[in-house]
């Protein structure tokens, strides 16, 4: 579905607002989201693709998580970058302020050491305030084994 298709779909829906399936019209309205029944939550976000849109989306996702009224003040987050995702930490990428803000809110900013070696990235070209971890895959594995949730946003198709 191209954006164009999507938009025309929305436009069409406005014209056909009455064409709702009666059988399902009232379903789903009772559910307003899972209930947060714990005192604390941990989440590891995985970014392994570059591109401004991917970075923006991932950081926005984290911000939205921190602001979810169900979880406000109860969530601990780590952002793990590997592969082309190291772009999120490259100096002067335009996201320094946003990253510093997230870090102030407690977000751990971690970078896979293997990626630096394999993609010939100089540590000095990344923001100094991030952390290097032995491997991104190991980091995710350990976190999940400790009960952390794993969230991996899809890189947006910039063609859409």
Give residues 52-111 in contact with a second copy (rule: CB under 8 A): 52, 54-55, 57, 60-62, 64-65, 67-71, 75, 82-84, 87, 90-93, 96, 100, 103, 108-110
Residues 6+ apart with CB under 8 A from 116: 86, 122, 123, 132
Footprint of a second copy on residues 36-55 (CB under 8 A)? 36-38, 41, 43, 46, 48-52, 54-55
Footprint of a second copy on residues 120-139 (CB under 8 A)? 121-122, 124-125, 127-139
CB of 77 to a second copy, least distance (A): 9
Residues 6+ apart with CB under 8 A from 15: none
Helices within the chain (DSSP H only): 3-15, 52-66, 96-104, 113-118, 136-145
Site residue total, a second copy (CB under 8 A):
105
Helix or strand (DSSP H, E) at 150: strand 149-151
142 binds a second copy (CB under 8 A): yes
Distance separating alpha carbons of residues 121 and 84, to the nearest angstrom: 10
18 binds a second copy (CB under 8 A): no
Residue of 105, 106, 123, 160 interacting with a second copy (CB under 8 A): 160
Distance separating alpha carbons of residues 101 and 87, to the nearest angstrom: 18
CB of 112 to a second copy, least distance (A): 8
CB of 35 to a second copy, least distance (A): 7
């Amino acid at each position: 579905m191209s954006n164009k298709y999507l938009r025309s779909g929305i436009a069409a829906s406005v014209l056909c607002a009455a064409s709702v399936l009666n059988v399902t019209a009232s379903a789903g309205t009772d559910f307003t989201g899972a209930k947060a029944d714990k005192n604390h939550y941990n989440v590891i976000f995985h970014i392994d693709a570059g591109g401004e849109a991917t970075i923006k989306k991932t950081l926005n996702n984290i911000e939205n998580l921190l602001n979810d009224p169900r979880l406000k003040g109860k969530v601990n987050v780590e952002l793990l970058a590997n592969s082309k995702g190291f772009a999120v930490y490259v100096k002067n990428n335009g996201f320094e302020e946003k990253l510093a803000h997230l870090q102030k809110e407690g977000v751990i900013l971690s970078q896979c050491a293997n990626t630096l070696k394999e993609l010939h990235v100089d540590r000095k070209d990344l923001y100094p305030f991030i952390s290097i971890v032995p491997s991104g895959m190991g980091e995710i594995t350990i976190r999940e084994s400790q009960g952390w949730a794993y969230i991996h946003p899809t890189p947006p198709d910039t063609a859409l």
